[in-house]
């Protein structure tokens, strides 16, 4: 009986927690369970979920990408400066940050796959390097419309109104960022679970030597996973710039931990026991619901991390306790 309850909690525990948290806030707060607020919650988690998708892919190949937060920051300021400093067309504004994310992913892969530096150390080093680059590039300034430079001159450009629709606009009453998020969640989930290449990612992460013996190009698979992680972090940076209408330094600093929390909470969704996109999305929703509800209850913002940390500990405890029991 105890074993059955543990397995049920492992499989459905995260979903039950989401429902209970949602029910608690709905009972306590009259305006919580409304279309407008639910839409706001999904809109608020769009950026961190894109970052978390990248982290999920790196974890799926038995790696870890600590540089995603810095990649978000660099992508955000580059996106803003391309419009405000250089008045670039919209397609350049979108392509350049994505290319930067891919390059950062390639550099991570080179250090990890080619140089054989442990993933935590390699991506930690990249986190500092990219963080320093973005602050140096922005000269420590937030990038905003017609900003004034130290010499007294002003930037000629401003944020493109079409670009701002990505983070601020709606289509049929649904935030465009939420639509983009749901599309990518479905596509990446399908890729990982229904395609040969997605299965190769999981096989590589499960047992690299077995994957190599079965003919999988392990180095290529791991490289592509880190490139994808960088690209999804860059998408998060683009959406961040569109959401706030400016390029803020250190924009991605708090997103790394939230993304990691979402991914690990997702381990226990439907008993997956491994990185998975649906679980990551559920984890992001849980964090979004907690932050939104606590904010509406006027809980001081610096106490939010305590609650998020406690939820992460609970999810990890259930996940790894059951996984370890199944191995013994």
All structural domains of the chain with their residue ranges: 10-327
pLDDT over threshold 80, residue 1: no
The answer to whether 160 and 83 have CB atoms below 8 angstroms apart is yes
Full-model pTM: 0.93
d(CA 30, CA 11): 31
Fold entry, domain 10-327? ABC transporter involved in vitamin B12 uptake, BtuC (1.10.3470)
Q: What was the pLDDT predicted at 305?
A: 81
- The pLDDT value recorded for residue 284 is 92
The pLDDT-based confidence of 120 (bands split at 50, 70, 90) is very high
Distance CA 136, CA 134 (A): 5
- Provide the residue count of the chain: 328
- Per-chain mean pLDDT for the chain: 89
Confidence of residue 17 (pLDDT cuts 50, 70, 90): confident
Q: What is the pLDDT of residue 306?
A: 86
pLDDT band at 30 (very low <50, low <70, confident <90, very high): confident
pLDDT at residue 45 greater than cutoff 80: yes
Per residue in 102-130, is it b (16+ CB within 10 Å) or e — as a string?
Answer: bebbebbbebbbeeebebeebbebbbeeb
pLDDT digits (tens, 9 = 90+) for 160-207: 999 999 999 999 889 999 999 999 999 999 999 999 999 999 999 989
For residues 97-102, give the mean pLDDT. 98
pLDDT at 319 over 80: no
Q: What is the pLDDT at residue 57? A: 96
How would DSSP label each residue in 115-131?
S---HHHHHHHHHHHHH
pLDDT reading at 269 higher than 80: no
The backbone torsions φ and ψ at residue 253, rounded to the nearest 5 degrees and listed phi first, read -55, -50
Query: Between 61 and 302, where is the model more confident?
Result: 61
Say what percent of the chain tops pLDDT 90.
62
* Under 8 Å between Cβ of 226 and 68: no
């Amino acid at each position: 009986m105890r074993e059955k309850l543990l397995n049920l909690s492992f499989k459905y525990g995260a979903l039950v927690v989401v429902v209970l948290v949602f029910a608690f806030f709905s009972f306590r707060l009259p305006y919580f369970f409304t279309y407008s607020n639910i839409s706001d919650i999904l809109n608020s988690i769009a950026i961190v979920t894109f970052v978390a998708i990248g982290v999920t892919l790196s974890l799926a190949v038995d790696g870890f990408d600590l540089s995603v937060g810095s990649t978000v920051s660099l992508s955000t300021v580059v996106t803003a400066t391309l419009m405000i400093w250089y008045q670039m067309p919209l397609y350049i504004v979108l392509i350049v940050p994505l290319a930067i994310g891919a390059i950062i992913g390639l550099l991570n892969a080179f250090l990890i796959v080619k140089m054989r530096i442990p993933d935590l150390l390699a991506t930690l080093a990249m986190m500092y390097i990219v963080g320093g680059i973005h602050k140096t590039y922005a000269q420590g300034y937030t990038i905003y419309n017609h900003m004034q430079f130290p010499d007294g001159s002003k930037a000629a450009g401003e944020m493109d109104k079409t670009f701002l629709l990505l983070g601020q606009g709606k289509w049929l009453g649904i935030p465009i960022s939420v639509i983009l998020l749901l599309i990518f969640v479905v596509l990446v989930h399908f890729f990982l679970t229904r395609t040969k290449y997605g299965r190769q990612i999981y096989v590589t992460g499960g047992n690299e030597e077995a994957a190599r013996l079965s003919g999988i190009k392990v180095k290529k698979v791991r490289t592509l996973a880190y490139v994808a992680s960088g690209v999804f972090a860059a998408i998060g940076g683009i959406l961040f710039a569109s959401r706030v209408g400016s390029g803020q330094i250190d924009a991605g600093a708090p997103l790394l931990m939230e993304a990691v929390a979402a991914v690990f909470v997702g381990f226990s969704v439907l008993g997956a026991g491994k990185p998975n996109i649906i679980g990551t999305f559920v984890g992001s929703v849980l964090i979004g619901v907690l932050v939104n509800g606590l904010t509406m209850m006027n809980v001081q913002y610096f106490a939010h991390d305590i609650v998020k940390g406690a939820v992460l500990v609970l999810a990890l405890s259930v996940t790894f306790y059951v996984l370890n029991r199944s191995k013994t």
